[in-house]
Structure 1
Amino acid sequence: METKIFQKNEIKMAADTLRQNELVAFPTETVYGLGANATSEQAVKKVFAVKGRPTDNPLIVHVQNFEQVKNYVAQFHPLTPQIVERFWPGPLTLIFKTKPNAFPSVVSAGLSTVSFRMPNHPLTLALIEATGVPLVGPSANTSGRPSPTTSQHVYHDLQGKIAGILEGGATEIGVESTVLDLSDSHRAPMILRPGGVTKEELEAALGMDVLVDPHLVSESEAPKSPGMKYQHYAPSTKVLMIGPTDWEEALNWAQKQQLKVGLQASPEVVRRFQSQAQASYCYADNQVASATKGLFAGLRALDEADLDYIFVATYPETGLGTAYMNRLKKAANQKYFMNN
């Protein structure tokens, strides 16, 4: 199969392809999604097959607007209108209980809930409108690999396996959306996956505490949200997390072990230590937003450099740093330098 790159003036062609139950990757403000007709069991099953994704890992349904969600949900959490008004379109996924048989069961991994998101990207909103149905859109990469933040990343993983990619440039945020569980109308909203909308932003908008699900799903339990159960975001090269004061010790250890390492960190860290490494990926500045935007791109770039380890900078787990560290911990299999 030839994988076509659709330009912005070819959205109708991309939509026609999706209506034929083929797969087309699309850009969002978070990462690129692997699009398929969410109402077609045949199309959705292709997503799992192409990604190598476990079938008990539910998918997020991408919609054009909130009115589209109303076709599938029987009852909404009382805070839903306030949350949608403030955060949609945007990097926030909302979980609702759906009407019976609203989607093929493969979309929700057999659960009674479905995750919905309205992405903040004009090309993808136009694509959903032109297709005429909601689209599932997990990250458009091989399952477990770093998520794609450019069309080139998608092409690298999925060329010849999908019908097309809608070109939208590099993504803005760089990690997947926050997932907020609103399926229980009698409970406060609960974050199942941190992302582009922070706990602090949600609490400020709602004037109340927002719960956070702290546990990792066990092997026997079906995850309610993507990203809760399986190792994610990992390059082939081993990743170690390096604390702010541990760089010198970590690099000295690597030199003694005759290991080839790459640095992924702020300009300040890279300038100081790059002479002791075989490769480096420098974030745009020292801020966590830049680190988050560059996390997956850096892991992918350094994975091509024939290294033994990628050393990646940690950030405080507050605000957007919560999402950054959530992804980095999974990419590193929870391993810090001192734990190596």
Structure 2
Amino acid sequence: METKLWVVDNFTNEKDIYPQIEEAADLLRNHEVVAFPTETVYGLGGDATSDKAVDKIFAAKGRPSDNPLIVHIGDKEQLHTFVESIPSKAEKVIDAFWPGPLTVILPKKDQVSDKVTAGLNSIAVRMPSHPVALALLKKVALPIAAPSANLSGKPSPTLARHVMNDLEGRISGVVDGGATGVGVESTVLDCTEEIPIILRPGGITQKELENVIGPVKVDRALISDKEAPKSPGMKYTHYAPDAPLVIVDGSSDFFQSIIDHYKDQGKRVGVLTTSEHENVYKADAVITCGSRSNLETVATHLYESLRSFNECDVDIIVSESFSEEGVGHAVMNRLMKAAGHHVIKQ
């Protein structure tokens, strides 16, 4: 299969990129799958009302079909066509954070394929803020199911070339809208409960949500790896680079001792760190993913940094740990998943 690439990096308005958007929209209307940028990561889109399109998403990613998908829309009014009801707290967070990196889980109608929801009676929906995503979604005028546009289990893509590396020849096209901004997936908020529950941390923090709707719970699976996660995209191992990853929680000296331990075993060691410690550690490859003083930068560059190790010929990756305050919660959630919850503490 030929995978087309449409470059719309210098997007200013829909008219400027009309030919590319129209071609991608036509493919989506015809049950094909197309990757496109959002403000979080690149998504792999397919018509959420089409079993054929949804099957192609799962096949391209190699993703288990019992893992629900998030539906993306370009207009809030689309919600009413496939959502049974919108609780008042859901309305408040939608008004506050859409378009943006927030997914809400709501009771569903039957218009969307059961394969999107894995047979559940609820549906996960979001309206992205990326201008290219919005232009495409408005043009196709369909609810678009879109998990991250990567092979299942690999780090999510924040650049079009990441998508091409994983999925070229497996999907119909990629809309290249440049680098994504947030860098980690959307926050998933279950609004079917009286007190909404965060099922996946992301670009919108618990504090930001509570400022709008009051108390918000956190899914127990985010606290304990023994609990089964409920959120789309969180059920299986995710975000892992080719080499094993271990998180080290301790001083710089302790961190270096772990590096030395692996080097003594004859292993090539990669280090994931921040700009503050860029020249501190002695290893075979040192990659920085942002600044410890600004965890938003770490979130933005996390997946790209993890993917970079695949080109470094390392046998193991040793990562620093981060504060779980604010977006740090999402960063550590992704790192823990990538590491299989393997943490070495001082």
TM range (shorter): over 0.9
Instruction: Please list the CA deviations of residues 225-251 of structure 1 after superposition, one character each: whole Å capped at 9, or x if unmatched.
Output: 213321111112000112241322212
The CA distance in 1 between the partners of 2:275 and 2:226, in whole Å, is: 39
Find the aligned partners of 2:227 and 2:59 in 1 and give their Cα distance: 22
1:19 aligns with 2:25: no
**Structure-to-structure mapping, 1:50-61, within 5 angstroms:** 50-61=60-71
The 1:218/1:330 distance shift into structure 2, 3 A limit, reads closer
- 1:7-86 paired onto structure 2 within 5 Å: 7-8=7-8, 9=17, 10-86=20-96
* Equivalent residue runs for 1:1-340 within 5 Å: 1-8=1-8, 9=17, 10-99=20-109, 101-184=110-193, 187-206=194-213, 208-215=214-221, 224-245=230-251, 246-273=254-281, 276-286=282-292, 287-338=294-345
- Residues 26-48 of structure 1: CA distance to partner in whole angstroms, max 9, x if unpaired? 00010000011111110011001
Distance 1:72 1:23 in 2: 21
Partner Cα distance (1:160, 1:251) in 2: 38
Structure 1 letter corresponding to 2:313: D
Give 1:256 shift. 2.1
* Letter aligned with residue 93 of structure 1: T
Which amino acid in structure 2 is aligned with residue 238 of structure 1?
Answer: P
- 8 Å CA contact retained: 1:219, 1:229: no
* One-letter amino acid of the counterpart of residue 259, structure 1: K
Percent identical pairs in the alignment equals 44
For 1:309, give the aligned amino acid. Answer: I
3-state SS, counterpart of residue 261 of structure 2: helix
Contact 2:38 2:133 (8 Å CA) reproduced: yes
Given residue 88 of structure 2, which amino acid in structure 1 is its aligned partner?
P
User: What CA distance in whole angstroms lies between the structure 2 residues aligned with 1:193 and 1:330?
Assistant: 12
Alpha-carbon spacing, 1:219–1:71, altered in 2? closer, same or farther (3 Å): farther
Deviation at 1:67, TM superposition (A): 0.8
Alpha carbon RMSD of aligned pairs, Å?
1.8
Contact kept in structure 1, 2:249 and 2:345, CA below 8 Å:
no
One-letter amino acid of the counterpart of residue 243, structure 1: D
Aligned equivalents of 1:203, 1:80: Cα separation in 2: 12
Q: Indicate if the aligned counterparts of 2:37 and 2:43 stay in contact, CA closer than 8 A.
A: yes
Kept after mapping to 1: 8 A contact 2:147/2:233: no
Residue 29 of structure 1 aligns to which amino acid in structure 2?
E
Secondary structure at the aligned position of 2:55 is classed as: helix
Q: What is the CA deviation profile of residues 121-142 of structure 1, one whole-angstrom value per residue up to 9, with x for unaligned ones?
A: 1111110111120111100000
Residue 2 of structure 2 aligns to a residue whose secondary structure is coil
Instruction: Say if 1:196 and 1:323, in contact at 8 Å, map to a contact too.
Output: yes
Alpha-carbon distance in 2 for matches of 1:104, 1:248: 51
**Shift in Å at residue 255 of structure 1?**
2.7
Distance 1:252 1:7 in 2: 44
Q: Contact 1:264 / 1:270 at 8 angstroms: preserved in 2?
A: no
1:285 positional shift: 2.6
Please report how far the alpha carbon of residue 195 of structure 1 lies from its aligned counterpart in structure 2 after TM superposition: 0.5
Q: TM-score, normalised by structure 2?
A: 0.92
Q: Distance in 2 between matches of 1:78 and 1:110?
A: 25
CA distance in 2: counterparts of 1:154 and 1:70, whole angstroms: 32
Residue type of the partner of 1:192?
L
Deviation at 1:264, TM superposition (A): 1.2
Matched residue count: 332
SS at structure 1 position matched to 2:115: helix
2: CA distance between counterparts of 1:64 and 1:108? 19
Q: Which moved more, 1:211-220 or 1:311-320?
A: 211-220
In the alignment, is the contact (CA less than 8 A) between 2:221 and 2:227 conserved in 1? no
For residues 61 and 167 of structure 1, the distance between their equivalents in structure 2, rounded to whole angstroms, comes to 20
List structure 1 runs of 4+ shifted beyond 6 angstroms: 216-221
> In 2, are the aligned partners of 1:265 and 1:291 still within 8 Å (CA)?
no
For residue 279 of structure 1, report the CA deviation from its aligned partner: 1.1
Deviation at 1:205, TM superposition (A): 2.1
CA displacement 1:256-275 (0-9 Å, x = unmatched): 222211111111212111xx
> Hey, what's the Cα distance between the residues in 2 that align with 1:220 and 1:111?
19
- Compute the displacement of 1:104 (Å): 1.1
Mapped partners of 2:232, 2:250: distance in 1: 30
